[in-house]
Amino acid sequence: MDSRLQLPITEVKGIGDKLAVHLNELGLFTVEDLLFYFPYRYDSYEIKPLTELIHDEKATIEGRLMTDPAVQYYGRKKSRLTMNLQVESFAVKAVMFNRAFAKNQLSAGDTVTVTGKWDQHRLQVTVSQFKKGPAENQEPIQPVYTLKESVTLVKLRKVIKSAIDEYSEDIQEILPEDYVLSYKLPARIQALKQMHYPESRVMLKHAKRRFIYEEFVIFQLKMQLLRKLQREATSGNAQQYDNRVLTQFVQSFPFELTDAQKRSLAEILKDMKSPYRMNRLLQGDVGSGKTAVAAISLYASITAGKQGALMVPTEILAEQHYESLTNLFNDKANIVLLTGSVKGKRRSQILDQVKNHEADIIIGTHALIQDDVAFSDLGFVIVDEQHRFGVNQRRALRDKGLHPDVLFMTATPIPRTLAITAFGDMDVSIIDEMPAGRKPVETYWVKGGLTERVLSFIQKEVKKGHQAYVICPLIEESEQLEVQDAIDLYHQLAEIYEPHITIGLMHGRLSNNEKEDVMKKFSSNEIQVLVSTTVVEVGVNVPNATLMVVHDAERFGLSQLHQLRGRVGRGAEQSYCILLADPKGDVGKERMRIMTETTDGFELSEQDLKLRGPGDFFGRKQSGMPEFKVGDMVHDYRALETARQDASEIISNDFLSKDERFRPLLQIIEQDANIQGRVLD
């Protein structure tokens, strides 16, 4: 099926070898590529009454020249052409830069059509496009494609038109008819034509709606199918943990698990017992008690005779986890710590213990995935703050065992909308409840720097016996600068507060020993105010700290601010967060406002996503986010959710292999190299 669409583009009328080369550069090789090369934007050239135009937005205006255009020259080769137009009963000025040549084409009495930015107050348009004559003959909605210089819009549209004419019979429906009907989607060929030659905004909207659904459902089908195939391929790792011993362990805790912890734990244990490899993400706000859940699942694995590994992004965090797990486990397990600073003989001892199963649990940083780290029987892997590791690093740890169960943890709640796409191949457990007695951190936004008021607030908290963090911004381009800021601030505060209050300094340039030393002093309250860069962002746990001051807070994203704020509010006392910020733009102000209004990480992450867009959400480096041609995960999340449910129904009923209606979809999905030949056996 569709074979003619796979022909090279040179088969299309009007595409010679030369044009073909240029189209290839745009990634277009087959007829199908060309047909589905959609515009990324549509410009509107509709003429609207002046009163309906929106200030500062693009508008198209048709008017009559009341005088000959005037040209002013300034600078080198720069010019400004002014047209005085009569539009309806108004006098409108149209200003056009560096196109003085137009003066010779226009004279008083002519009709012109101009498009540009509309200034409502001055009744003026700054022209980006102009045409002599009335607006008619101009298509009101014009597609805009990504083009290379050598391929003009006119040329591209011409060859797309011939491709549609010649190949329309081959563009067949791929969705089952009942889906098309029940979602009222236009047929595939109709939708395709509208994408390139929209007749109206409404028709275009439905065409897009169709392709959004189509690409989402194909994406979801692939994800869910792969997950199913993967599950089946990794069967045989059921962990027979000892429920009785596990219950005793939980009962030895100084607190009772929250309902959300219990629920997540049950989900994890169920996965462990199942014959399939677990691939699960545990999401929970900072302080929601993920570590406790992690510890219990690690213990479950130990009672099943396996080893467990916990990988975290920083040494400080590794040490903290090591300490808290050692306390929790008492002598129930042999826990070892492996970080970059563990070297020489100590390191080889630890490696030996891990290799001959003397060690039950190994906690560490990237050091865990070095080649010479070998396990006797690794059954359970936890990756904390998983977004800080690349895909390959996560896989490297997993591959040190034979189908170990894998649990990822994150305190950066991922909006549901993203979780179902980015993590379509993972199950998700959510701890959406804080341990009882926690007081939400009161958050204030203060304009200006460390004012008198803020300084005395710090002093007041310290007098109560509490501690404070003062954070300096992360300046990605210059670690040097960042450290300098922290050092400056440290000296300033030392001058103001010492000797009554002891100030500490922490940043990425300190050696590990120095860092550890500072953290120990802060933990034991020898240091009351810790000036730091964002190295304390993740995981640091000092419950006596009740105040978080963030300098230049406008430089941080919402999720990061939330992480920083999570360093306080970990004890029973009321905690505070003060954001010192002078944001310039609206987005920055909005961020500060949101921070002061909610402490719910999930809500924050949804808002952050809206402000930043999905591309930025995880940071560019490792996003691994799928790219869609027409759909937008955030904007079109309802379609995405619908597609996810439909895909789930299709997969669980084996419709792809059993139901004729899904043949065309199956053919598309099977083009994926990972799926090829694995659906129908």
Residues within the interface to ligand ADP (CB under 6 A):
255, 257-258, 261, 284, 286-292, 411, 435, 541, 570
The rounded distance, in Å, linking the Cα atoms of 318 and 311 is: 8
Which range binds Mg ion by CB under 5 A, 40-48, 283-291, 393-401, 606-614? 283-291
State in angstroms the smallest separation of the CB of 380 from ligand ADP.
17
Q: Which residue has the tokens 């486990």?
A: 329
State in angstroms the smallest separation of the CB of 541 from ligand ADP.
6
Angle in degrees, CA 255, 260, 266, rounded to 5: 95
Nearby residues of 586 by Cβ (< 8 Å), 6 or more positions away: none
By beta-carbon proximity to ligand ADP, the closer residue of 64 and 439 is: 439
Nearby residues of 327 by Cβ (< 8 Å), 6 or more positions away: none
State in angstroms the smallest separation of the CB of 311 from ligand ADP.
14
By beta-carbon proximity to ligand ADP, the closer residue of 252 and 451 is: 252
Residue 674's Cβ-count burial label (10 Å; 0-12, 13-18, 19+) is exposed
Angle in degrees, CA 349, 351, 353, rounded to 5: 70
Considering only CA atoms, which of 637, 681, 635 is closest in space to residue 658?
Answer: 681
State in angstroms the smallest separation of the CB of 678 from ligand ADP.
38
The encoded tokens of residue 368 equal 């865990």
- Which of the listed partners (Mg ion, ligand ADP, none) does 314 bind, with a CB threshold of 5 to 8 Å by partner kind? none
- Which of the listed partners (Mg ion, ligand ADP, none) does 435 bind, with a CB threshold of 5 to 8 Å by partner kind? ligand ADP
- Which of the listed partners (Mg ion, ligand ADP, none) does 562 bind, with a CB threshold of 5 to 8 Å by partner kind? none
Q: Does 467 bind Mg ion (CB under 5 A)?
A: no
By beta-carbon proximity to ligand ADP, the closer residue of 264 and 339 is: 264
State in angstroms the smallest separation of the CB of 612 from Mg ion.
24
The rounded distance, in Å, linking the Cα atoms of 208 and 628 is: 12
- Which of the listed partners (Mg ion, ligand ADP, none) does 286 bind, with a CB threshold of 5 to 8 Å by partner kind? ligand ADP
Q: Does 283 bind Mg ion (CB under 5 A)?
A: no
In sequence order, what DSSP letters do the residues of 15-69 get, joined into one string?
--HHHHHHHHHTT--BHHHHHT---SEEEE--B--GGG--TTSEEEEEEEESS--
By beta-carbon proximity to Mg ion, the closer residue of 291 and 467 is: 291
E strands, 106-165, in order = 111-119, 124-132, 141-144
By beta-carbon proximity to Mg ion, the closer residue of 87 and 542 is: 542
Binding Mg ion by CB under 5 A: which of 194, 279, 291, 412? 291
State in angstroms the smallest separation of the CB of 351 from ligand ADP.
27
- Which of the listed partners (ligand ADP, Mg ion, none) does 363 bind, with a CB threshold of 5 to 8 Å by partner kind? none
Cα dihedral 552, 554, 555, 557 sign = positive
By beta-carbon proximity to ligand ADP, the closer residue of 281 and 411 is: 411
By beta-carbon proximity to ligand ADP, the closer residue of 432 and 554 is: 432
Bridge-based pairing state of the strands 58-65 and 111-119: antiparallel
By beta-carbon proximity to Mg ion, the closer residue of 291 and 429 is: 291
Q: Which residue has the tokens 């979809």?
A: 665
State in angstroms the smallest separation of the CB of 438 from Mg ion.
15
- Which of the listed partners (Mg ion, ligand ADP, none) does 255 bind, with a CB threshold of 5 to 8 Å by partner kind? ligand ADP
Number of neighbouring beta carbons within 10 Å of residue 178? 9
Distances 37 to 23, 26, 491 between C-alpha atoms, Å: 11, 9, 59
Q: Of all helices (H) and strands (E), which one includes residue 468? A: strand 467-471
The upper half-sphere exposure of residue 145, i.e. CA atoms within 13 Å in the direction of its Cβ, equals 22
- Which of the listed partners (ligand ADP, Mg ion, none) does 609 bind, with a CB threshold of 5 to 8 Å by partner kind? none
By beta-carbon proximity to Mg ion, the closer residue of 258 and 291 is: 291
Total of chain residues touching Mg ion, rule CB under 5 A:
1
State in angstroms the smallest separation of the CB of 570 from ligand ADP.
6
Q: Does 288 bind Mg ion (CB under 5 A)?
A: no
By beta-carbon proximity to Mg ion, the closer residue of 291 and 523 is: 291
By beta-carbon proximity to ligand ADP, the closer residue of 543 and 588 is: 543
- Which of the listed partners (ligand ADP, Mg ion, none) does 287 bind, with a CB threshold of 5 to 8 Å by partner kind? ligand ADP
- Which of the listed partners (Mg ion, ligand ADP, none) does 366 bind, with a CB threshold of 5 to 8 Å by partner kind? none
The rounded distance, in Å, linking the Cα atoms of 419 and 417 is: 6
- Which of the listed partners (ligand ADP, Mg ion, none) does 258 bind, with a CB threshold of 5 to 8 Å by partner kind? ligand ADP
State in angstroms the smallest separation of the CB of 243 from Mg ion.
25
The rounded distance, in Å, linking the Cα atoms of 660 and 680 is: 13
Which range binds Mg ion by CB under 5 A, 250-258, 262-270, 289-297, 434-442? 289-297
By beta-carbon proximity to Mg ion, the closer residue of 353 and 410 is: 410
E strands, 511-642, in order = 529-532, 545-550, 576-580
Considering only CA atoms, which of 482, 475, 524 is closest in space to residue 506?
Answer: 482
- The SS3 of residue 78 is strand
Which range binds Mg ion by CB under 5 A, 17-25, 286-294, 419-427, 469-477? 286-294
State in angstroms the smallest separation of the CB of 290 from ligand ADP.
3
Distances 108 to 63, 85, 643 between C-alpha atoms, Å: 11, 9, 57
Considering only CA atoms, which of 631, 633, 673 is closest in space to residue 222?
Answer: 673
Q: What is the DSSP letter of 100?
A: G
- Residues in touch with Mg ion (CB under 5 A): 291
